Amino acid sequence: MHFTPTGNEIHGNRRDLQNLRHLLPYLSAYKGRALLALLCLVISKVSTVSVPLVLKDIIDKFDGKETQVLVLPVALLIAYGVFRLLTSLFNELRDTVFARVRYHAMRELSKRVMQHLHKLSLRFHLQRKTGAISRDLERGTRSVSTLMNFLVFSTIPIFVEFSLVAFILLSNYAVIFALVTFGTVLFYVAFTLMVTEWRMHYRHDMNRLDSQANTHAFDSLINYETVKYFNNERLEQNRYDEILEKWENVAVKSQSTMSMLNFGQGAIIAVGVTIIMFLAANGVVEGTMSIGDLVMVNAFMLQLFIPLNALGIIYRQIKYTLADMDLVFKLLKQKPEIQDVENATDINVSKGEVKFEDVSFAYDKKREILHGVNFTIPAGKTVAVVGFSGGGKSTLVRLLFRFYDVSQGRILIDGQDIKECTQDSLRETIGIVPQDTVLFNESIFYNIQYGNLDASREEVENAAKMAHIYDFIEGLPDGWDSVVGERGLKLSGGEKQRVAIARTILKKPPILIFDEATSSLDSATEQAIQKTLGKISSKTSTLIIAHRLSTIVDADMILVMEAGKIIERGSHLVLLEQQGRYSEMWNLQRDTQGEDSDNNG
């Protein structure tokens, strides 16, 4: 077996030290408590080490001195009990005092990770695997508590106790006792570290496969209906089981190598304690040590090696914990793709004019999506964008929200380049009703009020009335407190869309975006909401992304996009007169609707 550390291991050890340094700021809020916990720890260990010393005196008092049995041992026995009581008391005090430090650090790290995830750009969230991230975050934040628990409650106490025992052995007995003790401990530690490093990759593989299995299960359950539609439960189960089978095999290897490590540790301790007992027994025979000395040395060895026996477990858990923690700190090191420029100012929207100036953009440098797009949404006017799928319509919305930065050109709002403004202020000025509405697994009231958290209940209800969903909500068994389910799955597509419309109405932004805002509604509801949206958009600058051309005939300007370029522009009537692509799309949709009407008839 070869234990020479590889470059990756050396790099991993260096990264572990860096992560430990990153952890220190989370402890700074309660430095006093941390120091007090360490003081309690030291007192506890002094009491622990004092127990064998008192035990030695008790036994020596029995050594042929029967007249003192009823007097002196009483005081020693009381001292024995007091030291044991102090050990327990200060152990519990240490735990109690340090609890605030530990859980506050967990809270702060969890809060920072969540904040950082919200700062990361849309590209990261489109590429992420939600199940894997949730599992990694759970393990990572829990690792903070685990690490502190092992350091403060296991590693440091062993070191303190070992130092006290070493001092007593060197002060009172032959050097050979200390040498055997130190030699055993050093050999034990070296063996533990080498074998643990050798088998660490099994733990990494288990973590990777565990996250992979969790990701697949999560994804499969999110797409529950799709799985059912295509009757692919067996496929999903088999794919999940294939990952679990790999995880099982790695887990078995991990357990086997851990058993090998445990046996090696036990053998080293057994040899060390046996040698110490031979030396102590020989000292008693030669008269250089008393029976009390023999008992004390044995008690010290048991007291020292019992926690030392757990060192392998502690070290492995610390390494596993550091590996889990590394996932979180790697995430925190990821820089958001879109960041506010230095000295960015809040955007000042007085009119709401939006201008795209020669905008080009590519998600991937190999494939450009937009090519020199130019158009203006005048203040208080409505501009609609139409075209076949893949033309770049939704990309306009993402660029306006600054989920991505343009490759070339500028986007201006009232003459202000949005790249020079803070993202928070920019997004406060824009409201959107998306085609694919996703709701929180909360009440309907919460989901509507999300558009303006300061809105009163009356304002929320008025927004619901304008979105023609008020009567539906009132008719529900739980009314406004009805929980909509994960991603709003308890509501129909049309109901979710009306909630989204109410939420945006409540926000009252100066700039509005409708991305197929009524695509899931029936004709009667759509016409009613179109009138509402018409009233709202008459006071705002509005961008409409549309597939159904009948919904945008009243727009002030219609842009026709194809392959990332604007190929036609004008009002509905002007575009029909041009007999171009818009006219072709209009006739195609009208013919399709006519056929549907005939079939329904």
CA distances from 95 to 27, 32, 322, 551, 571 (A): 15, 14, 22, 66, 73
Average pLDDT over residues 87-94: 88
pLDDT for res 10:
38
Tokens read off for 246? 């790999």
Q: Which amino acid is at 384?
A: A
Q: What are phi and psi of 586, to 5 degrees?
A: -60, -50
Q: Give the CATH fold of the 354-600 domain.
A: Rossmann fold (3.40.50)
Q: Do domains 16-333 and 354-600 have the same CATH topology?
A: no
DSSP state of 3: -
- What residues contact residue 276 under an 8 Å CB cut-off, 6+ apart? 177, 180, 181, 297, 298, 301
- Asked which of 166-170, 256-260, 566-570 is least confident by mean pLDDT, the reply is 166-170
Q: Give the CATH fold of the 16-333 domain.
A: ABC transporter transmembrane region fold (1.20.1560)
Where do the domains of the chain lie?
Answer: 16-333, 354-600
What's the pLDDT tens digit per position in 447-466?
999 888 889 999 999 999 98
Angstrom distance (rounded) from CA 178 to CA 170: 6
pLDDT at 40 over 60: yes
Q: Which amino acid is at 109?
A: L
430 bridge partner residues: 511
Long-range CB contacts for residues 215-220, cutoff 8 Å, separation at least 24 = 215/129, 215/130, 215/131, 215/132, 215/135, 216/131, 216/240, 216/243, 217/131, 218/130, 218/131, 218/134, 219/129, 219/130, 219/131
Average pLDDT over the chain, rounded to an integer: 81
Quote the pTM value. Answer: 0.66
What's the pLDDT tens digit per position in 329-358?
887 787 888 888 888 899 999 888 999 999
What's the pLDDT tens digit per position in 274-320?
888 888 888 888 878 888 888 888 777 777 777 766 666 677 677 77
First-last CA distance in the chain: 81
Angstrom distance (rounded) from CA 300 to CA 308: 12
| Contact (CB, 8 A) for 321 and 202 | no
- What residues contact residue 156 under an 8 Å CB cut-off, 6+ apart? 38, 41
Pairing of strands 511-515, 430-433: parallel
pLDDT at 594 over 80: no
pLDDT for res 67:
45
Angstrom distance (rounded) from CA 484 to CA 466: 20
pLDDT for res 5:
40
The 3-state DSSP class for residue 410 equals strand
Read out DSSP for 98-163?
Answer: HHHHHHHHHHHHHHHHHHHHHHS-HHHHHH--HHHHHHHHHHHHHHHHHHHHHIIIIIHHHHHHHH
